[in-house]
Structure formats: C-alpha cells, structure tokens
Structure 1
Amino acid sequence: MDLSSFDILAPDLPVVFCGINPSTRAAATGHNFGSASNRFWPVLHLSGFTPERIRAEEDRRLLAFGCGITAAVPRATRSAGELNGRELRDSGDGLRAKLEHFRPETIAFLGKAAYEAIAGGKVGWGPQPDRFCGAAVWILPNPSGLNRGFSLPDLVEAYAALRVACSASLTRWMTR
C-alpha cells in the first residue's frame, strides 16, 4: 500500500503538519489522526486553525484552511517507537522531494524525533533557526494519545503560537 496517498498537500500551503509516520489505523481507514485518543483534531480547532472540530474522516477539508499533512516515514506502525534510527534518518530524501515539489511556507514537525534524525542534531520546541527545503521549521509536541507528556492546554498553547506566527499567510490562503 502506498501510504503517501494519505498526504494532504497542495502547492504553497501556509502550514504543513509533518507527523513521524502514519498509524496502523490511518493505513486501515485512509484517514490521518483517526485514533479516538489522538488529540490532533481537537487541538487544531482549539488553537484556531479550524473554525470547528474536523473529524478524521474529513481530513481533506484541512486544505481549505491553508494546512496540509504529511509524514516523515511512510511506513505505518502502531507506535513511532517501532521505527529505527535508520528509517528516520533515511526519510529525509523522500520528505525533501515532497516539500520541494509543494513548497509550503512552514513545516511543523509533530515531535522532535524525525527532524532531529533528518537534521542530525538536537532541537528545541517552537520555531527553529534553520529552514528546511525553503520552509520555516517549527517543532510542536506530538498530539498522539501515547504522548502524555503534554496536556491538552499545553498542546493548544504550542499550536496556537504557530497559528499566530502564520496568521497573515493563513488569512491570505482562505481569502484567495
């Protein structure tokens, strides 16, 4: 199965959210962030990216709000912990090709693992000093239900900071 078909991308999006890899649920249903415990869709709404909460089955609606979704590693797993370091490091070429083709303004990595492996070093949370394929880089906490190191308010605060930073681009996208 070609898991890149779960990408939700369009040229010149203001923001593309980059998960580590698709879940086995995404592979089975064809929709991103569909686990009942995943907080991605509530966080996007509560942080102001969407005017209402989108369901996973409606994930393609995200494009209307100037946002897309991709994954660093195309292999589906139950947990990102099932990926090895080489898969994460090697994912950079495929991700670069996608980003160079679609040219998003900002790429928001959901969790540090994929970007640290691709970039070859430790990173902090929030905006990063370096660009990736011409895009500004943000590191946001992973909204997976397996990641309980961040509360829902913590996630909303982090994602809202990105939304504020991209607000002019998001507004232009929605009014074009």
Structure 2
Amino acid sequence: MANLPPVVEPVPHLPDVLAENLDAVFCGINPALSAAIAGHHFSNPSNRFWRTLHLAGFTPHLIPATQDYTLLRYGYGITAAVARPTVSAGDLAPRELRAAVPDLERKLLYYRPRVIAFLGKPAISAIVRKPAVAWGQQAFTFAGSSVWVLPNPSGLNRAFSLNALVSAYRELREAL
C-alpha cells in the first residue's frame, strides 16, 4: 500500500452576524476554532460575551450562543478582524491582522454600522499601527464608523472581572 498523504480537515468558516445600518458591530480578533466548529460566535461556556451584553443592557434577556443571529433584532452584529479560526488569538501572526484590514474595511463600508466595537486591543492596534490604544471611545473613525475599544470577554482574560466588563460595555450602550 502506498504512503498516502494525511487527511487534512478543512477549517470551518464562521459566518458574520451582520445587517446594514446596525447601531454597533462587535469585532473580535478572530473566531475561536471551537466557535467555528459549533457554528456560533462566543460559544465557549467560559466566554462572557453573551452574559456581558445582557447585563450591560444590550439585550433584554440572555441570548444563548446558538441563537447568535438574534442579536440583529436589537440592532447589533458580530464580525472578526481576521476570519481564520484558531485555538487562540495568539496563534495569529501580526501580519495576518494587518493583511485583514482591507477586507474588514470593505465589509464595514458596505454594512455601515454607527459604531465598530473592537473586543480587545490587538486588532485595532494593528489597524492604526499604534502599540498603545486606550479603552473606550476613540478620537478616530474606521470605515466611516465611530470606534470603541472594549475588553475582550474571553474567559482567558483575567484582567477584567465580569463587573468590569459590564461597566465598560455599558458605557458604550449608554453612548448609543
């Protein structure tokens, strides 16, 4: 029997949750591989995204990750700076973040959200090519949208408690 090459399973693609003219689009760094396999954003039980959104007032009830598309009903969407799923955002090379900018910009120009909220600093830092970006509302726009930088809700982000996440996200909600 001949030596066959190993079977390489294709990495699943996680579709965006987007519509035109949303109030805000939450932009993660890239999808977790587990979320891409599950087919839903922020599906890891340790991720605090859905709970944070609810507690900050974006949704009237806690949305399960399996119903991520229902976020559109409330005027919000989800995308990622880099579409390639990885086990950890640390698996992305900085050049991947920079290379993703034109596609992200094109997408946001098409959908025209009022605000793009970057979840964590790495993506927006790569976009504006500044190592230091402050939390909260930024003085610049991206693709015609106001820019906010919010803490990443990943369960791995121990620098922010749930209360701190809710407080940061509520600031955006109140500004909207």
Common topology (TM > 0.5): yes
2:166 alignment partner, SS class: helix
Which of 48, 65, 74 pairs up with 1:56? 65
Describe the SS at the equivalent of 2:107.
helix
The unaligned stretches of length 5 or more in structure 1 are 167-176
Tell me which residue corresponds to 1:47: 56
CA apart distance, 1:29: 1.1
Cα distance in 2 for residues equivalent to 1:17 and 1:96: 14
Q: Is the 8 A contact 1:22 1:76 kept in 2?
A: yes
2:144 counterpart of 1:154: no
How far 1:2 moved relative to its partner? 6.5
Find the partner of 2:109 among 89, 100, 103.
Answer: 100
Letter in 1 for 2:64: R
Q: Give TM-score, length-normalised by structure 1.
A: 0.92
Kept in 2, the 8 Å contact 1:90–1:118? The answer is no
**Residue matched to 1:174:** none
Any idea what the Cα deviations from partners look like across 1:6-43, whole Å, max 9, x if unmatched?
20000000000000000011110110000010000000
| Match of residue 139 from structure 1 | 149
1:88 aligns with 2:94: no
Deviations 1:42-61 (CA, angstroms, capped at 9, x unpaired) = 00000000000000000000
The percentage of aligned residue pairs carrying the same residue is 55
TM-score, with normalisation over the residues of structure 2? 0.92
User: SS at 2:140's partner residue?
Assistant: coil
Alpha carbons 1:39, 1:143 under 8 Å: kept: yes
Q: Find the aligned partners of 1:27 and 1:131 in 2 and give their Cα distance.
A: 29
| Count, aligned residues | 165
4+ residue segments displaced more than 3 Å? none
Unmatched runs of 5 consecutive residues or more in structure 2: 1-10
